[in-house]
């Protein structure tokens, strides 16, 4: 069974079940992140410097995502270079010749777009390529597998994937340890302004997606994995899968309609950084316990020794929705951080399982180190909990939970107790239990109760322990459908969302506490500083700081 879904406000694209989103794009427009964007035609962009095996030459038949269609209405044509990112050189836009200028430092102009000036070689993959070719711009490879396994690809190299759908029935990846170096990682990026997609709808074995074993120092950007149907009770086939891997970066990547986990990091080593990624509609209908493995993002390891605590996994600006089980499942021993992430509509009603926005994971190891941090996040419309410590009958995990919003959990109404936050009772001393710190959070309109407390914990300046009265009038909007909105062109979270923003006059404004080491030391803007900005007499409650 396929569960179609289109982002809020989508103009084009695929709904994950063979259908279309919106009315589609007319001729001359590309579908980029579900928006119709005017295609730009290069008229001889300046040649670039840099070491590249294929940075010059003719064009390609691929023009971006093939998720487009006819439309009776054509988007307005704007004769500027801003309709697509990374444009450079002289472009023909709206029938006019426009000089889009030069690239920024570290890039060079090639065929009208800015490419990275890497220390190694540049390769290309395209749907009309051939794996027997050299992999340069005019003779690209055909498969992602070639890019991931070719002996030609070495530390410092970059592989660009041209737009289009790459149908596959097998897993793409490397099982023997693909490694860059700390100073010269290997990069696997989408070609600028194009949307490369792996589609496993035709797979005949429980595989698919991309998988890396014992891989280190790799970066991925702008890649989509979709449609890995479950063939039997076996739920294998994660979208992005990494095993005993570290120093991995994923940016602007998408996994959807997967028969298990969208992003799966098993036994992580070193650092994992995930930014601006979406994972949705991941459902295992045929498992022994249907839906039990359908997670958006999961980090899992088995306790081995204190080295487990060296792994650091960070999710920033990521979204997880419509997953059968959990949005984010943090089951690893090491440090895991969620910063400005949204988890909504997780835990499907038809399955007799949980369904959490964020599950912070049980542990077998005692640690006094801070190993969980969740800041500025949204948990909305999840089946059971918005966020739970998940440490019942296990050692407590020191954690900082700051400035989050838990709204309307318990959507199933099927006997599960729906709460915004769940603070469970671990097997630990009160000293360790009190290392679980909740500050400046909002919980509102959750089915059973806003906060379930079964243990001592440290808390202050939250909506449930402060002299504030939360009502609908405190918010600009509580329309959760806004959370589906398409991302910005650069992959950042949509800027038009007002859900959870505080309305002028709300008593939640300036109702928080300044947290040293987290907030900036003084009110106002602090450009370039790694701190949470705040305005007024004190920080606000919730994830969106106002400046009224």
For residue range 158-188, what is the model confidence (pLDDT) as tens digits? 999 999 999 987 888 888 889 999 999 999 9
CA angle, corner 317, sides to 350 and 168, nearest 5? 65
310-324 pLDDT tens trace: 789 999 999 999 998
484-503 average pLDDT score: 96
**Closest by CA position to 136, among listed 163, 162, 154, 114:** 162
378-406 pLDDT tens trace: 999 999 999 999 876 678 889 999 999 99
Contact 448, 418 (CB under 8 A): yes
Query: Rounded distance, CA 347 to CA 386, Å?
Result: 11
Query: Rounded distance, CA 366 to CA 94, Å?
Result: 63
Contact 453, 434 (CB under 8 A): no
Which pLDDT does position 74 carry in this prediction? Answer: 39
Higher pLDDT, 356 or 54: 356
Query: Rounded distance, CA 454 to CA 298, Å?
Result: 25
Residue 441 tokens, joined: 């959070």
Q: Which residues of 452-483 are buried (b: 16+ CB within 10 A; e: fewer)?
A: beebebebebbbbebebebeeebbbebebebb
CA of residue 363 relative to chain centroid, distance:
25
Asked if pLDDT for residue 548 goes beyond 50, the answer is yes
483-498 average pLDDT score: 96
Asked if pLDDT for residue 284 goes beyond 90, the answer is no
Which pLDDT does position 168 carry in this prediction? Answer: 87
504-509 average pLDDT score: 98
Which pLDDT does position 172 carry in this prediction? Answer: 86
Higher pLDDT, 73 or 340: 340
Which pLDDT does position 231 carry in this prediction? Answer: 79
Classify 394 as helix, strand or coil: coil
110-120 pLDDT tens trace: 988 999 999 99
Segment holding 359, helix H or strand E: strand 358-359
Phi-psi region of 175 (alpha: psi -120 to 50; beta: other; left: phi over 0): alpha
CA of residue 127 relative to chain centroid, distance:
25
188-211 pLDDT tens trace: 999 999 999 999 988 877 666 899
Mean pLDDT over the full length of the chain: 85
Which single residue is written with the structure tokens 């650092």?
271
Contact 542, 507 (CB under 8 A): no
Q: Quick one: pLDDT band at residue 472, thresholds 50, 70, 90?
A: very high
Q: Quick one: pLDDT band at residue 227, thresholds 50, 70, 90?
A: very high
Contact 456, 450 (CB under 8 A): no
Which pLDDT does position 61 carry in this prediction? Answer: 32
Which pLDDT does position 206 carry in this prediction? Answer: 66
Which pLDDT does position 54 carry in this prediction? Answer: 35
Classify 82 as helix, strand or coil: helix
Contact 186, 160 (CB under 8 A): no
> Backbone phi, then psi, for 145, in 5-degree steps?
-60, -40
119-148 average pLDDT score: 97
Which pLDDT does position 529 carry in this prediction? Answer: 95
Burial tier of 270 (Cβ tally within 10 Å: 0-12, 13-18, 19+): middle
**Closest by CA position to 42, among listed 88, 101, 105:** 88
**The three-state (H, E, C) secondary structure of 438-463, written as one string:** EECCEEECCCCEEEEECCCCEEECCC
278-301 average pLDDT score: 83
pTM for the predicted model, two decimal places: 0.86
DSSP characters over 294-308: --SEEEE----SGGG
Domains in the chain (CATH in brackets) are: 1-37 (no CATH), 259-277+289-489+499-505+542-547 (2.160.20.10)
């Amino acid at each position: 069974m396929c569960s179609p879904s289109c982002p809020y406000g989508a103009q084009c694209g695929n709904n994950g079940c063979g259908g279309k989103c919106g009315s589609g794009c007319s001729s001359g427009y590309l579908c980029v992140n579900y928006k119709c964007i005017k295609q730009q035609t290069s008229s001889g962009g300046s040649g670039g410097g840099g070491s590249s095996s294929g940075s010059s030459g003719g064009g390609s038949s691929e023009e971006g995502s093939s998720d487009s269609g006819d439309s009776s209405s054509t988007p307005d044509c704007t004769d500027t270079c801003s309709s697509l990112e990374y444009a450079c050189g002289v472009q023909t836009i709206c029938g006019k010749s426009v000089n889009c200028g030069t690239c920024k430092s570290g890039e060079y102009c090639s065929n009208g777009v800015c490419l990275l000036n890497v220390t190694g070689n540049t390769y290309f993959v395209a749907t009309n390529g051939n794996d027997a070719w050299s992999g340069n711009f005019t003779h690209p490879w055909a498969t992602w597998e070639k890019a991931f396994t070719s002996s030609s690809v070495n530390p410092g190299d970059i592989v660009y994937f041209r737009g289009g759908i790459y149908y596959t029935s097998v897993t793409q990846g490397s099982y023997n340890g693909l490694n860059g170096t700390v100073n010269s990682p290997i990069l696997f990026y989408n070609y600028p302004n194009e949307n490369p997609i792996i589609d496993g709808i035709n797979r005949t074995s429980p595989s698919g997606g991309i998988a890396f074993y014992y891989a280190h120092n790799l970066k991925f950007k702008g890649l989509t994995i979709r449609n890995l149907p479950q063939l039997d009770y076996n739920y294998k086939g994660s979208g992005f899968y990494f095993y005993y891997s570290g120093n991995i970066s994923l940016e602007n990547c998408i996994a959807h309609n997967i028969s298990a986990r969208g992003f799966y990091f098993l036994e992580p080593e070193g650092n994992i950084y995930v930014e601006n990624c979406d994972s949705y509609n991941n459902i295992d209908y045929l498992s022994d316990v249907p839906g039990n493995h359908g997670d958006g993002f999961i980090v899992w390891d088995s306790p081995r020794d204190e080295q487990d605590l060296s792994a650091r996994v960070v999710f920033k600006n990521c979204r997880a929705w419509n997953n059968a089980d959990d949005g984010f499942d943090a089951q690893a021993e090491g440090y895991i951080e969620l910063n400005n992430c949204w988890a909504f509509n997780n835990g499907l009603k038809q399955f007799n399982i949980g369904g959490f926005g964020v599950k912070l994971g049980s542990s077998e190891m005692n640690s006094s180190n801070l190993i969980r941090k969740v800041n500025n996040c949204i948990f909305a419309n999840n089946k059971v909990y918005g966020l739970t410590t998940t440490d019942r009958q296990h050692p407590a995990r020191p954690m900082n939970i700051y400035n989050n919003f838990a709204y309307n959990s318990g959507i199933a109404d099927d006997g599960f107790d729906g709460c915004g936050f769940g603070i469970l009772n671990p097997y630990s001393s009160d000293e360790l239990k009190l290392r679980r710190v909740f500050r400046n959070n909002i919980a509102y309109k959750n089915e059973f109760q806003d906060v379930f407390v079964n243990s001592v914990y440290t808390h202050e300046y939250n909506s449930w322990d402060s002299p504030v009265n939360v009502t609908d009038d405190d918010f600009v909007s509580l329309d959760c459908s806004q959370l589906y909105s398409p991302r910005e062109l650069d992959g950042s979270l949509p800027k038009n969302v007002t859900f959870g923003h505080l309305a002028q006059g709300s008593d939640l404004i300036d109702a928080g506490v300044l947290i040293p080491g987290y907030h900036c030391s003084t009110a106002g803007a602090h450009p370039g500083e790694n701190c949470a900005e705040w305005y007024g007499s004190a920080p606000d409650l919730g994830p969106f700081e106002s400046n009224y």
